[in-house]
């Protein structure tokens, strides 16, 4: 897993979500998504925060027809994994099971979600058995 030099703020996360949803976006597209009917100050804010995200290694930009186009370098799953790992380290001594169990207990899962979780558990068991056979 890649290491990033700093976490993202809530506003930076909202910008990443625009990029994840669209694949890429210009400063104007990001500002319009986050600040509908926004003023010029919003475009400047977006530009500054995108520069920070780039400095942190979360996004990159390219120039297309004279316009900066931003793309996320980290996926939603990668950021979620890193953040949840940090929570597990801080609150559970690095153990994932208490974290997962607490999340599942905190809100009842639907039948579909339970099926999806069971499928995932079964896949993990099969992978574990396959690794044991190779060892």
For residue 5, what pLDDT is reported?
56
Closest CA to 3 of 78, 92, 59, 65: 78
Higher pLDDT, 79 or 130: 79
**Range of 117's domain?**
96-134
Residue 85 lies in a domain: no
Cα–Cα distance for residue pair 100/95, rounded to 1 Å: 9
Predicted model pTM = 0.77
Boundary residue ending a domain (72, 87, 117):
72
Q: pLDDT digits over 9-37, tens only?
A: 999 999 999 999 999 999 999 999 999 98
Cα–Cα distance for residue pair 6/13, rounded to 1 Å: 12
What is the mean predicted confidence (pLDDT) over 28-57?
A: 92
Closest CA to 13 of 88, 103, 76: 76
Q: pLDDT digits over 59-103, tens only?
A: 999 999 999 999 999 999 999 998 889 899 999 999 989 998 898
Q: Which two tokens stand for residue 82?
A: 């890193």
14 shares its domain with 47: yes
Residue 4 lies in a domain: no
Domain CATH for 59: 1.10.10.10
What is the mean predicted confidence (pLDDT) over 115-128?
A: 91
| 61 within 8 A of 19, measured Cβ to Cβ | no
Query: Is pLDDT of 107 > 50?
Result: yes
14 shares its domain with 46: yes
What is the mean predicted confidence (pLDDT) over 31-53?
A: 91
Residue 39, phi then psi, degrees to nearest 5: -95, 175
Residue 2 lies in a domain: no
pLDDT band at 1 (very low <50, low <70, confident <90, very high): very low
Domain count, the chain: 2
């Amino acid at each position: 897993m890649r290491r990033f030099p700093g976490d993202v703020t809530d506003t930076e996360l909202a910008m990443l979500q625009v990029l994840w949803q669209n694949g890429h976006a210009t400063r104007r597209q990001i500002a319009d998504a986050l600040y509908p009917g926004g003023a010029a100050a919003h475009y400047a804010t977006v530009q500054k925060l995108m520069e920070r995200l780039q400095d942190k290694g979360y996004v990159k930009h390219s120039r297309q027809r004279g316009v900066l186009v931003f793309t996320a370098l980290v996926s939603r799953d990668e950021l979620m994994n890193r953040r949840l790992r940090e929570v597990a380290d801080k609150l559970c001594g690095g153990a994932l099971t208490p974290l997962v169990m607490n999340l599942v207990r905190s809100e009842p899962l639907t039948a579909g979600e339970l099926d999806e979780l069971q499928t995932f558990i079964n896949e993990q068991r099969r992978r574990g058995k396959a690794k044991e056979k190779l060892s």
